[in-house]
Structure 1
C-alpha cells in the first residue's frame, strides 16, 4: 500500500476526532456552565456563546500560522503537537473549577489547533494527480462529519456517562490520535522555501490570486450553509412535532448532512478527477442552494431530515473541489500556509453560520434562514460560474492545469 494511503487512514481518524473535539461541547456547554455554578438563564446563554465561538475565532487566526510552521518544519510535527495539545486541554476541561477556567481552556484549544491543516497539506503534497480528488474528498469528510456529528455524540455521552466524562472521553480519543500519528504517519520532509516570511511576500508568490480568493470565499459560504441551521433546528423541530424525542430528532436533522457527506465526498472527489473540479463545484453549489428552498416549507420532521441528507450529498462535492484546485494552483512550498487560510475561512464559517442563523431567525423568521442561506449559495454559484468555470472553459490549456 502506498504511503499516502496509509497516512490517509490515520489522518482521517485524527481529523474526525478533531472535528468531534471542536464541536461536541455545543449541547453540553449550557449544562456544564450551570453545573459550574451559573444560575441565571441569560448568563448561561451568554457564556455558552462566548465559550463556543471563541475557539473557532482563535482557530481561524492561528490556522495559517501553524500552516506556515508546517511548511518550515514538516507536517507530522504539527500533527503531533495539535493532537497531544488538544488531548490535554480537552481532558482538563473536565476538571475546570469555574467558568473562567473553562473559557480559558476553550481559548487555548483554539490556539493549539492545526491538525486539520497539517493533514490536508500532508495528503495533498503526497498524493499523485490521478488520485488527488478521491484522497482529498475522503479526507474532507472527516472534519465536516466530525464537526456535524460532534453535537450528537456529545449529547449522547453527557446523557449516559455524565458531563465531565464527555471531556475525558474526547481527550482520550485525541490521545489515541496522537499515538497513531506518532507510530503510523510517514513523512519525508524537505523544506523548499527559506525566504518567504511575510504574508505580503506569500501573496506575491501565489500565481492565481483571484481564483484563490474565490476558493476561500466558497469554503466560507459552504460552512455557513452547513451551520446556519444549528441555532434554530431544535426550535424549528418543536414547531413541526410534539414528540418527546425532540432532542434526538434535532440531532438527526443537524447530523444528516454530515452522514451524507461521508458517503458522497470520496465519490464526488473521484468525479472531480475525471471531469474537472470546477465543473463539480458549480453544479453542487447550484444544487445545494436549490435544496435549501424546500426546507423552508417542510411540515414534518422526516421531510427536514431527508432534505438535509440530500443537501449533504451535494455539499460533499464542494470541499474536495476547493481543496483539489488549491493544491493545483499553489506552489508546493506555500501549500501549508494556503491551506491554513482555507481552514481559517471554514472556522469563520462555523462561527458565522451559528451567529447568522440565530440573527436571521430573530429578525425575520426561522423559515427565512433557509431562504437567505439558499440565496448565499446561489449567488456564490453564479460568482464561481463567471469567475472560474467560464474562464477555464475559454482556455482549454488552463483547464488541464487547474481544473
Structure 2
C-alpha cells in the first residue's frame, strides 16, 4: 500500500475514534455538572451551556494559529498535540471537583481542539486539486460514523460504569488514536517552491478580507453551522411535542438526531465527486437550495416519522457542504499558507457552532420551536444568494491579492 493511501486510511480511522469519543460525553455533560453539587435546575442549565460553548470559543481563536504552525512544521505534529491534548482534557474532566474547574478544563480543551479540521487540511494538502472533493467527502464518512455511534455508546457506558470511568475510557480511546498518528502516519512534505514568498499573518488576513470568494465562502461556512446547530438543542423538545405521552422520548430524539448523520454518511462522497467534475461553487449552491427545501417542511410536520424522513434528506444536503468548502480552500489557497487559510475557515465553523444554539434559543423563545426551521431555512437561501452574487464578480487570484495587500501595508 502506498504512503498516501495508508495515510488516508489512518486519518479516516482516527477521525472515527476521535469523533465518536468526543461525542460520547455529550449526552451526560449536564448530568455530570448536576453531580458536582446541590444546584438548581437553572444553574445546571446555564453552566451546561457555558461549559459546552467555551471549548468552541477557545478553538475559534486557536485554529488559525495551529494552521500557521502546520504550514511551517507540518500537520502531523499538530495532530499529535491535538490528539494527546484532547485525551488529557477528557481525562481531567473525570477528576473535576467543581463546575468552575470543569469550565477551565473545557477551556483548555478548546485550545487543543481541532484534530478533525486539521486532519481535513492534512489530507487536502496530500491530495490533487482535481480529486479533493471526492477524497474529503470520503474522509468525512469516518467522523460522521463516529458521531452517530458516540452518543449512544457514551450514554450506555455512563449508565454501566459511571461518569468517571466513562471519561477515562474515552480519554484512552483518543490516546490510542493519537498513537496511530505517531507511529502510522507519514507526512509527505512538499518542498517549498523556489523563491516561495513568506507572508506575514496580517497580510494573510488582509488577503482573505479582500478576496471575495474566500471571504464569502468562510461566511457561508459560518451560516451553514448556524443552520446545523440552531435546532440541535431544541430537537429533543420538538420530538417530545410530536410524541406527547410517549415514555421513550430520549430514544426517539436520538433516532431523529441520527437520521441527519445517516443522510450525511450516504451522500458525502457523491457530492465531493460531483464537485470535482462540475465545480464546487455549483454543487455548494445546489446543496444550499436543497437544505432550504428539506428544512422548511420540518416546521409543519404532525408525526415523528415525517420529521425523521425530512431530517434524513436534510442530512443528504448538508453532508456535502464541509467537504465542498474545504476543497474550495484547497483550490484557491497557495500550498505554503494552506494550513493557515483553512484555520481561518475552521474559525468560522466554530463561530457558527457558538452562534447557532444561541440563535435557535432566541428565535424559539419569541416565536416557538417550529419557527426555528423557517428562520434557519432563510439563512440557507441567504447563503445561496451570497454565493451567486460572488460568482458574478470577476475572478481573483489569491496570490495576486496577497502581494497587493503586502505592498499596501508595507
Q: Given the alignment of the two structures, is residue 248 of structure 1 paired with residue 255 of structure 2, yes or no?
A: no
Q: Where do 1:133-212 residues align within 5 Å?
A: 133-143=133-143, 146-147=146-147, 150-189=150-189, 192=192, 195-198=198-201, 200-203=202-205, 209-212=211-214
Q: Given the alignment of the two structures, is residue 230 of structure 1 paired with residue 227 of structure 2, yes or no?
A: no
Q: Secondary structure at the match of 1:253?
A: helix
C-alpha spacing 1:100/1:171, structure 2 compared with 1 (3 Å): same
Q: CA deviation at 1:24?
A: 3.7
Q: CA deviation at 1:147?
A: 4.9
Q: CA deviation at 1:228?
A: 1.5
* 2:74 alignment counterpart: 74
* 2:272 alignment counterpart: 269
Runs (4 or more) in structure 1 with deviation over 6 Å come to none
Structure 1: gaps spanning 5 or more residues:
399-403
Equivalent residue in structure 1 for 2:285, among 282, 286, 308 = 282
C-alpha spacing 1:33/1:152, structure 2 compared with 1 (3 Å): same
Deviations 1:377-400 (A, max 9, x none): 011112112212x458xx8x99xx
* 1:305 alignment counterpart: 308
Q: Secondary structure at the match of 2:232?
A: coil
Q: Given the alignment of the two structures, is residue 47 of structure 1 paired with residue 47 of structure 2, yes or no?
A: yes
CA RMSD between the two structures: 2.2
Do 1:82 and 1:115's aligned partners in 2 also have CA atoms closer than 8 Å?
yes
C-alpha spacing 1:148/1:64, structure 2 compared with 1 (3 Å): farther
Do 2:60 and 2:348's aligned partners in 1 also have CA atoms closer than 8 Å?
yes
C-alpha spacing 1:156/1:385, structure 2 compared with 1 (3 Å): farther
In structure 2, distance between residues paired with 1:259 and 1:147: 10
C-alpha spacing 1:43/1:95, structure 2 compared with 1 (3 Å): same
In structure 2, distance between residues paired with 1:161 and 1:343: 35
* 1:359 alignment counterpart: 362
In structure 1, distance between residues paired with 2:124 and 2:339: 10
Q: Secondary structure at the match of 2:27?
A: coil
Q: CA deviation at 1:143?
A: 4.1
When normalised by structure 2's length, the TM-score is: 0.90
Deviations 1:44-99 (A, max 9, x none): 11111110000011111111111111111111011111101111111121111221
Do 1:25 and 1:52's aligned partners in 2 also have CA atoms closer than 8 Å?
no
C-alpha spacing 1:345/1:391, structure 2 compared with 1 (3 Å): same
In structure 1, distance between residues paired with 2:19 and 2:70: 20
C-alpha spacing 1:203/1:100, structure 2 compared with 1 (3 Å): closer
When normalised by structure 1's length, the TM-score is: 0.91
C-alpha spacing 1:207/1:51, structure 2 compared with 1 (3 Å): closer
In structure 2, distance between residues paired with 1:90 and 1:194: 40
* 2:221 alignment counterpart: 219
In structure 1, distance between residues paired with 2:358 and 2:14: 27
Do 1:117 and 1:336's aligned partners in 2 also have CA atoms closer than 8 Å?
no
In structure 2, distance between residues paired with 1:215 and 1:144: 22
Q: Which of 139-148 and 10-19 deviates more?
A: 139-148
* 2:91 alignment counterpart: 91
Do 2:208 and 2:215's aligned partners in 1 also have CA atoms closer than 8 Å?
no
In structure 2, distance between residues paired with 1:130 and 1:355: 38
In structure 2, distance between residues paired with 1:315 and 1:78: 27
Do 2:24 and 2:153's aligned partners in 1 also have CA atoms closer than 8 Å?
yes
Q: CA deviation at 1:21?
A: 4.6
In structure 2, distance between residues paired with 1:207 and 1:270: 29
C-alpha spacing 1:100/1:203, structure 2 compared with 1 (3 Å): closer
